[in-house]
Amino acid sequence: DVKVTQSSRYLVKRTGEKVFLECVQDMDHENMFWYRQDPGLGLRLIYFSYDVKMKEKGDIPEGYSVSREKKERFSLILESASTNQTSMYLCASSNAGLAGGAYEQYFGPGTRLTVT
Amino acid sequence: DQQVKQNSPSLSVQEGRISILNCDYTNSMFDYFLWYKKYPAEGPTFLISISSIKDKNEDGRFTVFLNKSAKHLSLHIVPSQPGDSAVYFCAASAYRSGAGSYQLTFGKGTKLSVIP
């Protein structure tokens, strides 16, 4: 079974703090993704990575950066946390290219981040 | 501009009856469609998918129908069970050649409540 783990289930940070959210997958997937989920807005893609050290902006990258130094690990960084970044953050991974199963993404349990 | 729309935020169904969840899309480049199920405080889990070259895919109690001309898909759950109560997200996949990977665009979700 694919397993995607996230470093924290719940996190409380203060405005202006630098926040690191970590994600690890154990299926040797090339692609990794960060989403945020907000009520009434669904899942919105922040950033994704298709290879080590490679990244692409998603739909809402402002205020975020990412790091992928190893294939299994993808980090989301909030450089200076703000209250409007209070949200559920979800990490996902998938196979690459046109191989079967490339469409399906496997999600971690999520990190509920509160910025006060 | 919302490319994947789930116009019903919520749906209530009696146990044993059919649940029908609907999804509309606007981008004709989408080539694969997926449904995810999400319980509170957990990450989304993959439920069922359909390729754009098919019009129906069935897996146990779950069937997904695709009407390409109408850009519409639906998820049927028969018979509905209380354990099916969750938020259901429709997602559509498009290939990003620059990244060599598929990107999913999600709808806002429909909260299904199955009443015993």
**Looking at residue A100, what is its pLDDT?**
46
Q: Comparing C-alpha atoms, which of A83, A89, A88 is closest to residue A116?
A: A83
**Looking at residue A102, what is its pLDDT?**
54
Spell out, as residue ranges, where chain B has pLDDT lower than 70.
1, 97-100
CATH number of the domain to which A79 belongs: 2.60.40.10
Domain B4-111, CATH: 2.60.40.10
| Contact predicate A103/A96, CB 8 Å | no
Q: Which amino acid is at B86?
A: A
Tell me the domain boundaries of chain B. 4-111
Determine contact: B53 vs chain A, CB below 8 A: no
Q: Which of B43, B100, B107 sits opposite A107 (nearest CB)?
A: B43
Mean pLDDT of chain A: 91
Percent of chain A with pLDDT over 90: 71
Work out how many domains chain A is built from and give that number.
1
Does the N-terminal peptide bond of residue B79 adopt cis geometry, omega within 30 degrees of 0? yes
Residue A115 lies in a domain: no
Name which of A1, A8, A43 to mutate to probe chain B: the one with the most chain B Cβ atoms within 10 A of its Cβ: A43
Query: How big is the CA angle at B106 (ends B101 and B112), to the nearest 5 degrees?
Result: 140
Domain that includes residue A81, residue range: 4-98
